A and B are shown apart, each in its own frame.
Chain A
């Protein structure tokens, strides 16, 4: 065995990686808890891959067959219902955790120099995660998901000049049709997975390169910050968290199986009470707030442009907030808390109304 190990290491250089993990340390302080979320997201993502491939064995991405194949998964395929429900709940949790990871990074200012590119790859991963949710939502081809897709893919149209082309690209034409379903399927199972793998790779390499970010308040207080070894101390703690997550996902999937609405009909009027998934509710509610015209610009164009500008600022935040422990840092922290409160309030409002 030992001989084989040596043979393998000599040819692959894998021992460098093992040595790196042996030497890797994680700082230990009152915010260490927030270091667990990235790994947790990865665990949920792996659950998504496994359950996603399983669903692929039965799912059929055409207008005629999509809904029927999901009904089959739910009613006939052995354990199909729980696999689909795990896929749904693990997706929900993954998105929720991505939000947590994002906000903790913001509040602890982990995006600052030299981690600008880590932040940007993180933003891209955030967008890809939401895109996974958006494209996956249409695939069961039920009434509500069709309406949500119609609205969602029509939103870019309000952006002047390029918007219409984005809408056409997403829909595969002027309208949401069978082309859209095929396209969303291709995005969901091929384009987005390839993208997310590549960017997760870069994100992880950069995190290893820079090590964990230590919040300024901690750095200021102490001269030496205690570290714990990644293996076994940190990893074992992570595994506790991971097992907890797996337990929660399976419990939720078992108690609240994924629902399936009536089959979508492209010509039917939109049913009442259409709402997007919870992670888009705050945006949905924001769009509702705008009147049809503001300063002679259509209200929705105004709202979408506003959201777009906010997104761009978000993306390039490390280049705007450069000073460690500067005043701007506090301002951003307050702003983030405000944003979190806004999102929660709007989500609840969107859910209730």
Chain B
């Protein structure tokens, strides 16, 4: 039934009301579903390791540690210990340190990084993520690199 001067018939009005209601109802359900599907995770701000485990490392040798869910690598160099997140910046494979070549290597797509974590060959688009190492008494403290902003 359509009343004179009305743009809609009563049926059409009711139908759009119902479908609008259904769409709104189900889209409100979407929010908790999406929220639920992504678990919370925070990258650690720092990891503390006992010095004793890393004391007797030879020059240009490396040891692994856990950086949250990711592997980290501690590399012994002349100037001290360097720490990297041992994950390739290309497609997230775990890299390995090759002491003979003095390079990091990713076996997935033949990516190479030099001893400072700089990408030098293969597909990796960026250097390995570097972490800050600080030796304090009995502990090695490994931190995220703090980026200083320009004033």
The answer, yes or no, to whether B25 is at the interface (CB within 8 Å) is: no
In the complex, the answer to whether A300 meets B90 with C-beta atoms within 8 Å is yes
CA distance A153 to B41 in the complex (A): 17
- Chain A, range 171-199, C-beta contacts under 8 Å to B: 172-177, 179
A150-B93, A154-B91, A300-B123 are contacts. A272–B107 as well, Cβ < 8 Å? Answer: yes
Query: Which residues from chain B sit less than 8 Å from chain A, CB to CB?
Result: 37-39, 41, 43, 64, 66, 68-71, 86, 90-96, 106-110, 119, 122-125
Shortest distance from the beta carbon of A261 to any chain B beta carbon, whole Å: 14
- Please report the C-alpha to C-alpha distance between residue A172 and residue B109 in the assembled complex, in whole angstroms: 24
| B94 contact set on A, CB distance < 8 A | 147, 150, 267-270
Also in contact, A151 and B108, with CB within 8 A (given A174-B41, A267-B66, A300-B91): yes
Q: How many residues of A contact B (CB 8 A)?
A: 35
A273: contacting residue among B37, B68, B71, B107, CB under 8 A: B107
Within 8 A of B (CB), among A147-165: 147, 150-151, 153-155, 157, 165
Additional 9 contacts, C-beta under 8 A, given A169-B37, A176-B92, A270-B107 = A155-B91, A175-B70, A267-B66, A268-B94, A269-B71, A270-B108, A271-B107, A292-B125, A299-B123
The answer, yes or no, to whether A65 is at the interface (CB within 8 Å) is no
The 7 closest A-B pairs by CB, nearest first: A269-B96, A154-B92, A175-B69, A151-B91, A267-B71, A270-B93, A173-B41
Neighbouring A residues of B93 by C-beta, 8 Å: 147, 150-151, 270, 274
Taking a contact as CB atoms closer than 8 A, the residue among B69, B86, B124 that contacts A174 in the complex is B69
The complex places the Cα of A270 from the Cα of B107 at a distance, in Å, of 6
Instruction: Kindly identify, within residues 287 to 329 of chain A, every residue whose CB is under 8 Å from any CB belonging to chain B.
Output: 287-288, 290-293, 298-300
Bound Cα distance from A179 to B36, whole angstroms: 13
